[in-house]
Structures are given as structure tokens and as C-alpha cells.
Amino acid sequence: MMLIPCPWCGPRNETEFHYGGQAGVACPKDPYAASDAEWAAFLFFRDNPKGVFTERWMHRSGCRRWFDLRRDTATNEIHTGAHEDQERTVAV
């Protein structure tokens, strides 16, 4: 049961969160300019490192905000720092 630091709510149990895999995978700006292979890369291919991984989590049972987290996939050790720099921006 990992203790996940939500940038909005503080550390909470893993069960409150939804996992979103690799962070920073942007949808191609012009999808129609992407080849089928490039589009497939966006849809289906994600990094899968053994070690530190920047990944997305969403605080489903709390603030419902997505945020990025750096975690070691071999040990589940969470590298704090990344989320603290993260802007807590909400478009209003």
C-alpha cells in the first residue's frame, strides 16, 4: 500500500488513486499528419522502465486532479520533489 503524495491533498493511501501510466505523452498536435505507425505509438506504446518512472496518478477519491509522480518501479520508492515543482494550475 503505497503512500502517494497528492499535491493538493497530501499523502494518501494508494487505494484512493487511479493510475495513468507514463506521464508527458502528448497527443500529436496534428493527428492527421501522423503516420499510422506514429499514431499507434501514441495510442499503445508507453515506456516501461525498471527504475525511476515519471507517471500519472489521479486522486480519484479526493480532489480528482491528475498529477505526475516519480516512482521507482523496482522498489516503489517515491521520489518527492517532482510533484512539488508541479504547477497546481487549473484553468478558470
Partner 1 sequence: MSGPFRLAEGGRIDRDRPVAFRFDGRDLQGFAGDTLASALLAQGVHQVATGIRYGRPRGVLSAGAEEPNALVQIEKPFPEPMLTATTVELRDGLEASGLPGQGRLSPDPDPARYDAVHEHCDVLVVGAGPAGLSAALAAARSGARVVVADADTEFGGGLLGSGELLDHAPAMEWVERARAELARRAEVRLLPRTTVTGHYDANYLVAVEDRGPDAFTRQRTWHIRAHEVVLATGAHERPLVFADNDRPGTMLAGAARTYLHRYAVLPGRRAVVFTTDDGAYPAALDLSGAGVEIAAVVDARPEAPPFWAKRCAEQGIPVRTGHAVVGTDGGERVTGARLAAFDPDTGALGPEEHHDCDLLLVSGGWNPAVHLYSQARGPLAYDEAAGAFLPSGSVPGVHPAGAAAGLRTTAQCLSSGAVAGVQAASRLGLEATAAPRPETDPHPVPKGRPLWRVPDPDPEAPGRRQFVDLARDATVADVGKAVGAGLTSVEHIKRFTTIGTGHDQGRTSGTVSSGIIAGLLGADLSEVGTTTFRAPYSPVSFAALAGRERGDLYDPIRVTAMHDWHVAQGAPFENVGQWKRPWYYPQPGEDMEAAVLRECRAVRTGVGMQDVSTLGKIDVQGPDAAAFLDLVYTNMMSTLKLGRIRYGLMCTADGMVFDDGTVMRTGENRYLLSTTSGGAAGVLEHLEDWLQTEWTHLRVHLTSVTEQWATIALAGPRSREVLERACTGIDLDNADFPFMSWRNGTIAGRRARVCRISFSGELAFEINVPWWHGRQVWEALYAAGEPFGITPYGTETMHVLRAEKGFPIVGQDTDGTVTPQDLGMGWAVSKKKADFVGARSFSRPDNVRTDRKQLVGLIPAAGEGVLPEGTQIVEARVLPEPPVPMLGHVTSSYRSAALGTPFALALVKGGRDRIGQTVYGHVGDRLVPVEITDPVFYDKEGARRDG
Partner 2 sequence: MAPRTPGADLPDHPDRLWRSADPKSSYDVVIVGGGGHGLATAYYLAVNHGITNIAVLERGWLAGGNMARNTTIIRSNYLWDESAGLYEHALKLWEGLEDELDYPLLFSQRGVLNLAHSLQEVRDGVRRVGANRLNGVDAEWLDTDQVAEACPILNTSPDLRYPVLGATWQPRAGIAKHDHVAWGFARALDLLGVDLVEGCEVTGFERIGDRVIGVETTRGPIRAGRVALAAAGHTSVLADTLGLRLPLQSHPLQALVSELLEPVHPTVVMSNAVHVYVSQAHKGELVLGAGIDAYNSYGQRGAFHTIERELAAAVELFPMFARAHVVRTWGGVVDVTPDASAVMGRTPFEGLYVNCGWGTGGFKATPGVGWCFAHTIANDEPHPLNAPFGLERFTTGALIDEHGAAGVAH
Q: What is the binding site for partner 2 (CB under 8 A)?
A: 1-2, 14-15, 18-19, 21, 36-37, 39-41, 43-46, 48-50, 53, 55, 71, 73-76
Cβ at position 92, least distance to partner 2 in Å: 31
CA atoms within 13 A of residue 2's CA, in its CB half-sphere: 19
The partner in contact with residue 80, picked from partner 1, partner 2, none with C-beta cut-offs of 5 to 8 angstroms by kind, is none
Nearest-approach distance from CB 83 to partner 2, in angstroms: 16
DSSP labels, 60-78: TTTT--EEEEEEETTT--E
